[in-house]
A and B are shown apart, each in its own frame.
Chain A
Amino acid sequence: MPDTNFEQPQTPAATPLAMTLHVNGRDHLMALDPRTTLLDALREHLGLTGTKVGCNHGTCGACTVHIDGRRHLACLVLAAAAQRRNIGTIEGLAGPDGALHPMQAAFVAHDALQCGYCTPGQIMSAVACVAEGHTGSDAEIREYMSGNLCRCGAYPNIVAAVREVAANAQQRS
């Protein structure tokens, strides 16, 4: 595949499209170029830069967000197609008082990152992975976290964090 990481010049859109995005419990009325991806809408138009641009073509998982509770790649979803859905990003995980989500706390405790660029995507994916119940073994965690790449290679610690959150969630239920 050709290199897609460079910004290509964009032809201006004739008419912006009015849309409402429901992000982290809040409605945002926007007028966007129809080509805008959910990823760009979040980062460039709503200032939610926690969701990261990695490969920008669906390979790396850095842009993973939740749509109606399931994990999706924000770089491969048109913003217009995400209307009337519940969109969840890393900014919506912590409590209103700033208390970390258990998965965020586990990533800190297990040092499950080095540079941190893939981390928001890893955490959003990990939260969904636990909710899906794909945490029966380390091998299962690795398989179901395979959509999120970490070039620093923090994988063993990421698996440890997911394993711990899954075990705690099971104890509570």
Chain B
Amino acid sequence: MYDFTYEKPATVADAVKLLGTDDSAKALAGGMTFIPVLKQRLNQPSMVVDLSKTGMVSIIIVSGKLTIGAMTTHGAIAHNAEIREKFHGLSEMAGWIGDTQVRNRGTMGGSLANNDPSACYPAAALATGATIVTERRRIEAADYFQGMFTTALEPGEIITAIEFPIPEKSAYEKFRNPASRYAMVGVFVAKYGTDVRVAITGASQGGVFRHAAMEKALSANFSPDAIAGIVTPATDLNSDIHASAPYRAHLIGVMAKRAVAKAVAA
């Protein structure tokens, strides 16, 4: 790691102020990605602003809306009984991130701020039309995700909470890399009445995206059969040592069918 100073402010306002004093100051949430990045010297912050004392740890469900504080860990989300009952797809997603050690420290706000193209939460956020709440504004998921590791966040802007409209039915399926547990392909399906939304993570070079053809078919008939014939073009999908683009295209179909089957049965 390069040299940095360490600050642990007690409020979000103080954290924003510290981040504002210096262009190369960076916020630290759980650090499950940021600390490895520092170790590899891929980033050189002058100051690390630890958000762990600022609160932002809460899970609130009120009238069909789930609000999760940005510093809430994956483990806390996965173990929350109310989320498991009312928003099963998100509960399962949180429980499949990394391993227990990572889930005990990694946070939803940190993951969304990083926007790793293989991260899970972007799929849930985009499929449900979630709102990313920062200390200065509210950002719709559709506007928030702007490509791999790229978001609408401005320098020094801190995510404080994420609001999810809870779907009537939801499910997540991922084909996980057996070592890293990152999604090689992850599919989140959310059903609101006759409106069905499908978001894919782990597959595209541009990060998370919605699958229009599947959404149209599922909105007309919410069953795995409805999307059985839909072929996803491999253009713009990732190719790496774990999977080729055509393989990922195939996996999208398989994972989507499994997710729909699970949502139907739930």
Interface-centre pick from A10, A146, A148 (highest chain B CB count, 10 A):
A146
B36 and A34 contact, CB distance less than 8 A = no
The complex places the Cα of A71 from the Cα of B105 at a distance, in Å, of 9
**Complex interface residues of chain B between 36 and 67 (CB less than 8 A to chain A):** 36, 38-41, 48, 50, 52
The complex places the Cα of A61 from the Cα of B98 at a distance, in Å, of 12
B105 and A73 contact, CB distance less than 8 A = yes
B48 and A132 contact, CB distance less than 8 A = no
Query: A34-B5, A35-B4, A78-B35 given as contacts; is B100 within 8 A of A132 (CB)?
Result: yes
Closest to A8 in B: B41
Q: Does A96 contact B (CB under 8 A)?
A: no
**Complex interface residues of chain B between 102 and 128 (CB less than 8 A to chain A):** 102, 104-105
B31 and A78 contact, CB distance less than 8 A = yes
Q: Which residues of A contact B3 (CB under 8 A)?
A: 11-14, 35
The one of B4, B48, B102 in contact with A147, judged by C-beta atoms closer than 8 angstroms, is B102
Closest to B75 in A: A70
Q: Does B101 contact A (CB under 8 A)?
A: yes
Q: Does A59 contact B (CB under 8 A)?
A: yes
Interface-centre pick from B39, B48, B75 (highest chain A CB count, 10 A):
B39
Q: Does B6 contact A (CB under 8 A)?
A: yes
Number of interchain pairs (Cβ within 8 Å): 89
A81 and B36 contact, CB distance less than 8 A = no
Size class of the contact patch on chain A: 35 or more
Q: Which residues of A contact B48 (CB under 8 A)?
A: 34, 78
A147 and B99 contact, CB distance less than 8 A = yes
Dominant SS at the B interface? loop
Q: Does A135 contact B (CB under 8 A)?
A: no
The one of B6, B100, B179 in contact with A78, judged by C-beta atoms closer than 8 angstroms, is B6
Q: Which residues of A contact B39 (CB under 8 A)?
A: 4, 56-57
Q: Which residues of A contact B4 (CB under 8 A)?
A: 34-35
B36 and A71 contact, CB distance less than 8 A = no
The complex places the Cα of A147 from the Cα of B97 at a distance, in Å, of 11
Query: A56-B39, A81-B52 given as contacts; is B32 within 8 A of A61 (CB)?
Result: no
* Cβ of A140 to closest chain B Cβ, rounded Å: 12
Q: Does B149 contact A (CB under 8 A)?
A: no
Q: Does A89 contact B (CB under 8 A)?
A: no
B104 and A70 contact, CB distance less than 8 A = yes
The complex places the Cα of A147 from the Cα of B8 at a distance, in Å, of 28
A81 and B8 contact, CB distance less than 8 A = yes
Q: Does B220 contact A (CB under 8 A)?
A: no
The one of B38, B50, B101 in contact with A64, judged by C-beta atoms closer than 8 angstroms, is B101
B6 and A2 contact, CB distance less than 8 A = no
Q: Does A77 contact B (CB under 8 A)?
A: yes
Query: A12-B3, A73-B105 given as contacts; is B35 within 8 A of A37 (CB)?
Result: yes
Q: Which residues of B contact A34 (CB under 8 A)?
A: 4-6, 48
* Cβ of A131 to closest chain B Cβ, rounded Å: 11
Q: Does A155 contact B (CB under 8 A)?
A: no
Q: Does B250 contact A (CB under 8 A)?
A: no
A129 and B100 contact, CB distance less than 8 A = yes
Q: Does B230 contact A (CB under 8 A)?
A: no
The complex places the Cα of A76 from the Cα of B102 at a distance, in Å, of 9
Q: Which residues of A contact B98 (CB under 8 A)?
A: 147
Q: Which residues of B contact A1 (CB under 8 A)?
A: 36, 40
* Cβ of A27 to closest chain B Cβ, rounded Å: 18
Interface-centre pick from B52, B99, B104, B180 (highest chain A CB count, 10 A):
B99
14 A-B pairs with C-beta separation under 8 A: A34-B48, A58-B101, A71-B101, A71-B104, A75-B35, A76-B31, A77-B31, A78-B48, A81-B31, A125-B100, A128-B100, A132-B100, A147-B100, A147-B101
Top 4 closest A-B pairs, CB basis? A147-B99, A34-B6, A35-B1, A57-B36
Chain B residues packing against A (C-beta within 8 Å) = 1-6, 8, 28, 31-32, 35-36, 38-41, 48, 50, 52, 75, 98-102, 104-105, 179-181
